[in-house]
């Protein structure tokens, strides 16, 4: 997927004015936040699980080369094949060549963010293959020719009306001549359209929530069962996954699954948790003839041990998106690439470059909710600040902002002078704003006051008020 992350500001402005999007975004609270809260509250050992999950991921990352090779060995032993890809291009080429070797025409796909990252649909379509997304949300945005706007709910920005229109426009030629408006009938219509696709697919492509080194298995969690039809019915199953998805044992995966479902959708467990271990064996009733795993690096091994290392613990639950006030206001498309919200604002600059995506780490209030809810204890605000420092050092941020920071740093390093100047400024603003009680515009803060008024200060600084409150009454 081509990045438009540089255009965050203009896209965010449009998103805030888009009433349809704003309506769709209000569902995030009841769909994700409240449900997560309820299931987390019902599990007293949730914090202990988080700690264990973090330890599992850190242990694996510290021995990543070992566990990846172990995984490959086990996949081979099961009759499958692992393909290593440093770059998105290599990964897409490998997938296309597996499809060509299988003389495939039709490809079904389960939801996979890494497949968006490597833009595999474009590569497959360029090679003349027919690709159909089978996750309902992915299917909706494929019809709309849009990228996903959320990592677990790709069509969260669409209202029911939008989906009715889309299905009506695209399915008429398939014999569905009525415009359906109820969710069950819309789902049923998609199911009927997709059934033929499942049955005629030569290759099924899925992602992986986890890779298990000790068994050579890949794991996906879904709520629709489309993943199972994608990996069981076609002759060839290709799993595409990034390298940090590997964990040592089956038992480790069960710990992480308990964290993932609760943090993502507020479920104790998703409707389907599917383990794929190699191609069909002689005693199996179904399954693919070939099983391939494409392991994608795309800059992840460079993150190992550097200041962004902790981001590699991410299990893509989406909780940080759901709880982010910025994501909740502008939705996912404003972020301009595959991964939106706080986790995306950390990952995107690492993958498409800070020059392109430098506005994303600044699109955060640093309120800390994302870190609070992250099941992997990833310090997202700290990682966003690392990007801001790099942006400042590389002189990529606007010169005016850099000068303002330099000026602030000058005073911040001299606390007595800082307090004196602050007190002087507060008194001046208090006098100037005394009548109206607030400022509609302030010099040097025009962006801030463009959308809000600033209340006039009361006439003393916080420190002065604090001292007064602490001193004993006479």
> What is the per-residue binding string for ligand SF4 in 177-216, x denoting contact by CB under 6 A?
----------------------------------------
Q: Kindly state whether residue 56 participates in binding ligand SF4, applying the rule CB under 6 A.
A: no
Q: Kindly state whether residue 350 participates in binding ligand SF4, applying the rule CB under 6 A.
A: no
Give the residue from 264, 229, 230, 16 showing the smallest Cα distance to 150: 264
Looking from the CA of 163 toward its CB, the CA atoms found within 13 Å total 25
Residue with Cβ nearer ligand SF4 (194 or 360): 360
Q: Kindly state whether residue 21 participates in binding ligand SF4, applying the rule CB under 6 A.
A: no
Read off the tokens for 407.
């000026």
Q: Kindly state whether residue 314 participates in binding ligand SF4, applying the rule CB under 6 A.
A: yes
The least distance separating ligand SF4 from the CB of residue 315, rounded to whole angstroms, comes to 5
Q: Kindly state whether residue 317 participates in binding ligand SF4, applying the rule CB under 6 A.
A: yes
Read off the tokens for 224.
């629709």
Q: Kindly state whether residue 15 participates in binding ligand SF4, applying the rule CB under 6 A.
A: no
The least distance separating ligand SF4 from the CB of residue 378, rounded to whole angstroms, comes to 5
Give the residue from 206, 289, 287, 297 showing the smallest Cα distance to 244: 297
> What is the per-residue binding string for ligand SF4 in 389-408, x denoting contact by CB under 6 A?
--------------------
The least distance separating ligand SF4 from the CB of residue 244, rounded to whole angstroms, comes to 11
Residue with Cβ nearer ligand SF4 (258 or 292): 258
The least distance separating ligand SF4 from the CB of residue 316, rounded to whole angstroms, comes to 5
* Piece in contact with ligand SF4 (CB under 6 A), picked from 175-183, 314-322, 408-416, 447-455: 314-322
Q: What are the DSSP calls for 378-445, one per residue?
A: --HHHHHHHHHHHHHHTT-S-HHHHHHHHHHHHHHTSHHHHHHHHHHHHHHHHHHTTTTSEES--TT-
The least distance separating ligand SF4 from the CB of residue 137, rounded to whole angstroms, comes to 16
Applying CB under 6 A, the site for ligand SF4 has a residue count of 13
Query: Which backbone phi and psi does 214 adopt, to 5 degrees?
Result: -70, -25
d(CA 376, CA 17): 34
Site for ligand SF4 in 365-384 (CB under 6 A): 374-376, 378
Site for ligand SF4 in 259-298 (CB under 6 A): 263
Residue with Cβ nearer ligand SF4 (110 or 375): 375
The least distance separating ligand SF4 from the CB of residue 301, rounded to whole angstroms, comes to 19
Residue with the two structure tokens 């027919």 = 130
d(CA 143, CA 35): 29
Read off the tokens for 4.
């438009």
CB 354 within 8 A of CB 393: no
d(CA 36, CA 263): 6
Q: Kindly state whether residue 351 participates in binding ligand SF4, applying the rule CB under 6 A.
A: no
Q: Kindly state whether residue 338 participates in binding ligand SF4, applying the rule CB under 6 A.
A: no
Rounded to a whole number of angstroms, the distance between the first and last alpha carbons of the chain is 68
Out of 315, 324, 363, 426, point to the residue binding ligand SF4 (CB under 6 A). 315
Q: Kindly state whether residue 257 participates in binding ligand SF4, applying the rule CB under 6 A.
A: no
Q: Kindly state whether residue 318 participates in binding ligand SF4, applying the rule CB under 6 A.
A: yes
Q: Kindly state whether residue 309 participates in binding ligand SF4, applying the rule CB under 6 A.
A: no
Q: Kindly state whether residue 320 participates in binding ligand SF4, applying the rule CB under 6 A.
A: yes
d(CA 270, CA 220): 10
Residue with Cβ nearer ligand SF4 (294 or 319): 319
d(CA 392, CA 396): 6
Q: What are the DSSP calls for 162-217, one per residue?
A: HHHHHHHHHHGGGT--S---SHHHHHHHHHHHHHHHHHH-SEEEE--SEEETTTTE
Q: Which spans of this chain sit near ligand SF4 (rule: CB under 6 A)?
A: 263, 314-320, 343, 374-376, 378
């Amino acid at each position: 997927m081509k990045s438009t992350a540089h255009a965050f500001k203009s896209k965010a402005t449009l998103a805030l004015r888009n009433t349809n999007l704003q309506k769709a975004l209000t569902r995030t609270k009841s769909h994700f936040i409240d449900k997560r809260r309820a299931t987390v509250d019902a599990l007293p050992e949730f914090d202990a699980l988080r700690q264990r999950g973090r330890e599992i991921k850190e242990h694996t990352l510290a021995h990543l080369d070992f566990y990846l090779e172990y995984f490959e060995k086990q996949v081979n032993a099961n009759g499958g094949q692992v393909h290593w890809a440093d770059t998105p291009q290599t990964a897409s080429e490998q997938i296309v060549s597996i499809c060509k070797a299988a003389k495939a025409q039709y490809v079904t796909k389960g939801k996979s963010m890494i497949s968006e990252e490597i833009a595999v649909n474009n590569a497959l379509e360029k090679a003349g293959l027919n690709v159909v997304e089978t996750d309902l949300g992915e299917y909706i945005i494929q019809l709309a020719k849009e990228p996903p706007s959320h990592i677990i709910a790709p069509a969260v920005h669409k209202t029911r009306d939008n989906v009715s229109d889309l299905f009506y426009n695209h399915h008429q030629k398939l014999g569905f001549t009525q415009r359906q408006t109820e969710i069950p009938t819309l789902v049923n219509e998609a199911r009927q359209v997709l059934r033929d696709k499942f049955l005629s697919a030569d290759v099924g492509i899925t992602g992986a929530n986890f890779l298990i080194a000790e068994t050579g298995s890949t794991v996906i969690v879904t709520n629709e069962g489309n993943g199972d039809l994608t990996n069981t019915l076609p002759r060839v199953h290709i799993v595409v996954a990034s390298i940090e998805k590997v964990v040592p044992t089956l038992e480790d995966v069960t710990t992480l699954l308990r964290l993932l479902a609760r943090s993502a959708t507020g479920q104790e467990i998703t409707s389907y948790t599917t383990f794929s271990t190699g191609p069909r064996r002689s005693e199996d009733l179904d399954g693919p003839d070939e099983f391939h795993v494409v392991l994608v690096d795309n800059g992840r091994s460079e993150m190992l041990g550097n200041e962004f290392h902790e981001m590699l613990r991410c299990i893509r639950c989406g909780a940080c998106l759901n709880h982010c006030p910025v994501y909740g206001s502008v939705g996912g498309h404003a972020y301009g690439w595959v991964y939106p919200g706080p986790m995306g604002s950390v990952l995107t600059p690492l993958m498409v470059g800070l020059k392109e995506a430098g506005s994303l780490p600044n699109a955060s209030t640093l309120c800390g909710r994302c870190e609070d809810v992250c099941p992997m204890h990833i310090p997202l605000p700290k990682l966003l600040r690392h990007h801001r420092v790099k942006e400042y050092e590389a002189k990529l941020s606007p010169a005016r902002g850099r000068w303002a920071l330099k000026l602030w740093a000058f005073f911040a390093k001299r606390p007595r002078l800082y307090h004196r100047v602050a007190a002087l400024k507060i008194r001046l603003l208090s006098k100037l704003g005394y009548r109206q009680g607030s400022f509609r515009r302030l010099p040097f803060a025009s962006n801030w006051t463009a959308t809000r008024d600033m209340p006039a200060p009361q006439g003393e600084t916080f420190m002065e008020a604090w001292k007064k409150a602490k001193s004993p009454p006479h």
